Chain A
């Protein structure tokens, strides 16, 4: 275990993107955890200064209702992270299972599931999410689940390819020969050995889920009871000329977070192919 950690550390140190990404991520997580301590005001506190420019009292100004922009952005970190991670996680699990089953079982199963994957590849999912959220209500839970259910296709494609190549490998064949059940092989050998590209892709998925969530919130389809960055931008839209700070900082917060996950995902992608695969074997 210790050796695995040491190796992981070495890998992280060797990759600039991963290093920067993880540092940025730590800052984000701290902000989310310590939000009540860091934020100068309650996010819903209405002060008397409406659309006040950034100053000592309100470092990033206030919005049209007199809420402190900095405090809203700090609390918004929680929403973005929770939504992004949950949605990407759901998509990761669905994709891994469907892709793994299709690729490993092959034959007719693969014909059906493969076709399903192809069909979903062609679907304009943003509109689907938009319709569902608009018609069924925009609770945070709804938003996360719908995004997860519509964004698994990339993962499924990757996992399917992985499973197809692992199926041919000796250790999988050997397990088949000694009579291990196919499901058990799938979960004990195929998925653990083929999961790494999906991990990298899921990290990227967090980034796009955060972007989608902010788009929904910007369209007024976010959860009204929860502070989110997209919503901050939406509330600033009407004050674009006399309150530019509301929109500007909201967008910067989104960019910061999305860049973080892109960096980590990209770094993982570069690192995972040869090195971490060995690391994964030792860990299992």
Chain B
């Protein structure tokens, strides 16, 4: 077990280092000069450009820049944003909260609804409702979340006027305490819905197939033969076994949703990392871009490791030390 955790952590670290390298190479190989952008288009004198280049260390050879960057990272310094002159770490931390709030609430909703529907269908396989939900799940699986977001805005915000179109708080409201929380929830509903509706099919299908699979196993047949009521069999034996794959998927989904939510964030002007990333790209703010990508990679890697370990704890049948 300890060995396995160690191994996964190594993979995670390698992944982060690799993300860092890829990131660094891509950003430095990219055409477009941030200094010109920063200095303004026409008015910049050569002296000004030279001074700025030196200030941000862009006059050094690439490998020196990389070593310097990695060294600073280890000391917890992610550099300063070229555009706003704020520390990158602080800027990112400000944005991480909203992203996690959105991703977490959307995944939890999807997990609950998807699993419930999946279990229901597994217990009524072949019924009309099962078929109907199966087809609907295909449709939502194929729906781009950004488009769904626009449609939700069209219906609930522009036409019915019951929910806000964008942002996280009502700027004119200046609520505090409970009112503030309620205001955030109101803003959360539409982006959360567009994400969770596209995620539900995932949980639905996995819950459905794993319940069906467990119900067909020999030990369930044996239990049935003992005359145990179907309800007890399900609650005591089927459910616990069938829920395991869902747990794994939840973790992995959530990990990737931290990045995947970005496009919905942009549609709804949600002040999270995703919309921040687009701004960073258009400003060619290298330190900020690298910082965001690094944080994203770390989030995903950590989540994946936690999920793997959790899974082997939950399901003793999986023995990783015997793997390979």
- Please give the residue numbers on chain B whose beta carbons come within 8 Å of chain A beta carbons, in ascending order: 11-12, 14-15, 18-19, 22-23, 26-27, 30-32, 138-139, 141-144, 146-148, 150-151, 153-154, 158, 256, 258-260, 262-263, 266, 277-278, 281-282, 284, 289, 292-293, 296-297, 300-301, 304
Question: Is A135 a contact of B281 with CB atoms below 8 Å?
Answer: yes
**Which A residues from 198 to 226 make CB contacts under 8 A with B?**
207, 211, 214-215, 218-219
Check if A119 sits within 8 Å of B144, measured CB to CB: no
Query: Contact: A135 with B143, CB < 8 Å?
Result: no
Cβ contacts under 8 Å, B141 to chain A:
258, 262
Residues on B with C-beta less than 8 A from A27 are: none
Residues of B within 8 A of A250 (CB): 147
Contacts of A131 in B (CB 8 A): 23, 26-27, 281, 289, 293
Contacting residue for A124 out of B139, B266, B297, CB 8 A: B297
Return chain A residues, CB-CB under 8 Å to B259: 124, 126-127
Residue in B150, B260, B263, B281 with the greatest tally of chain A CB atoms within 10 Å: B150
Is A37 interfacial (CB 8 A cutoff)?
A: no
12 new A-B contacts at CB < 8 Å, known A254-B142, A255-B144, A262-B141: A119-B18, A124-B256, A127-B277, A128-B22, A128-B293, A135-B32, A137-B31, A237-B150, A241-B154, A250-B147, A251-B143, A255-B142
Interface residues of A in 229-262 (CB under 8 A from B): 230, 233, 237, 240-241, 244, 247-248, 250-251, 254-255, 258-259, 262
Q: Can you identify 9 A-B contacts, CB atoms within 8 angstroms?
A: A122-B12, A124-B300, A127-B296, A130-B277, A131-B281, A135-B30, A211-B144, A254-B144, A255-B142
B292 to chain A: which residues have CB within 8 Å? 127
* Partner of B15 from A122, A237, A251 at Cβ < 8 Å: A122
Q: Which residue of chain B lies nearest to A251 when distances are taken between CB atoms in the complex?
A: B147
Q: Are B281's CB and A130's CB within 8 A?
A: yes
- Measured CB to CB, the nearest residue on chain B to A127 is B259
Q: Contact: B147 with A136, CB < 8 Å?
A: no
A254/B147 in contact, CB under 8 A: yes
CA distance A118 to B308 in the complex (A): 12
Identify B304's interface contact among A122, A128, A215, CB under 8 A. A122
Q: Please, how many angstroms separate the alpha-carbon atoms of A244 and B155 in the complex?
A: 10
Assembly CA distance A237 to B269 (angstroms): 13
A123 within 8 A of B: yes
Task: Please report the C-alpha to C-alpha distance between residue A263 and residue B135 in the assembled complex, in whole angstroms.
Answer: 10
Question: Do B266 and A219 touch across chains, with their CB atoms under 8 A apart?
Answer: yes
Contact residues of A: prevailing secondary structure: helix
Choose one: B26, B31, B278, B301; the contact of A122 (CB below 8 Å).
B301
Residue A115 at the chain B interface, CB threshold 8 Å: yes
Flag whether A29 is at the interface (Cβ < 8 A): no
Top 7 A-B residue pairs of the complex, sorted by shortest distance between their CB atoms: A135-B30, A251-B147, A258-B142, A124-B259, A122-B15, A134-B281, A119-B15
Given A218-B263, A219-B266, A219-B278; A247-B151 close (CB under 8 Å): yes
A121: Cβ under 8 A from any B Cβ: yes
User: Are A259 and B266 in touch, CB under 8 angstroms?
Assistant: no
Q: How far does the alpha carbon of A136 sit from the alpha carbon of B262 in the complex, in Å?
A: 20
In the complex, what distance in Å separates the CA atom of A141 from the CA atom of B246?
37
Distance of A218 Cα from B262 Cα, bound (Å): 12
Residue picked from A122, A211, A254, most chain B C-beta under 10 Å: A122
